[in-house]
Amino acid sequence: MNTFWHLEKEDFFKGIDDVKRVFLENSHRQELAKNETVFLEGDAGDSCFYIESGLVRIFGSAGFGKEMTFSLRMRGEFFGLSEVLNSSPRKAGAQTASASVLYSIGQQAFEGMLREHYPLARRVITLLGRRLRYMGDMVRRQNNDVANRLASLLISLAYDTLRTTEEWDKPCEIPLNIPQEQLASMVGSTQPTVSATLQRFRTDGLIVGNGRRLVLLNPIEMIYRLDHNLL
């Protein structure tokens, strides 16, 4: 499971409920519909966000007028941290991928919390360290072929469901409705290539399709093939 070390995550505030209470008291609650813009690349990085519910897409320019999705932030996660800490413009954009409830906090209030609550500061440092390591892994993974990158992404998308069960050898539906164009963006490929790769996974008995929904027939088998370069 070392391939997916970055998915072993819990709610950011787990175990520090008193800090969460202070954070919520000093933040602004936002209810956003699907596909609403949270911020754009180049905007002032003057706040960070905690996801109470929903899904947020972090994206940027991939050249030639195209966008690339860098990551998906899920319930219980923070995003927009590095720009707040560095007082720098946004390095990427953020958009809701589903109806979402976010809590945003301004730079001054957040920095005050970091000074007053050591557990929060330690949690932020740990989170940023994990994300830096993950970005390094992502750069190295770009040398793999599309099948490996796509399989890794599918497991990542299904992980929030998989971590609630021990039956990793049973079918698991990916709980997100993501078009192939966005899957292609997330793995740095094209829609036709992703479509052909998904068809190969179907032929190999790794997935079945249900409209835009995908079902992993045997997640542990996909992980085994991924770890042993058998895709």
For 126, counting Cβ atoms within 10 Å of its Cβ (0-12 exposed, 13-18 middle, 19+ buried), the class is exposed
CB under 8 Å, gap of 24 or more: what pairs does 194-200 form?
194/146, 194/150, 197/146, 197/147, 197/150, 198/150, 200/147
The H or E element spanning position 146 is helix 146-162
Domain stops at, among 142, 167, 190: 142
Domain stops at, among 127, 142, 157: 142
From the CB of residue 69, how many other CB atoms can be counted at a distance below 10 Å? 22
Residue 136 has a pLDDT of 53
Residue 174 sits in which domain range?
Answer: 146-228
Mean pLDDT of 108-114: 94
Domain stops at, among 89, 119, 142: 142
Rounded Cα distance between 97 and 114, Å, is: 29
- 3-class DSSP assignment, residue 104: strand
Q: Please tell me the pTM assigned to this model.
A: 0.66
Rounded Cα distance between 119 and 132, Å, is: 20
Residue 183 has a pLDDT of 83
38 pLDDT above the threshold of 90 = yes
User: Are 58 and 138 found together in one domain?
Assistant: yes
User: Are 48 and 97 found together in one domain?
Assistant: yes
3 pLDDT above the threshold of 60 = no
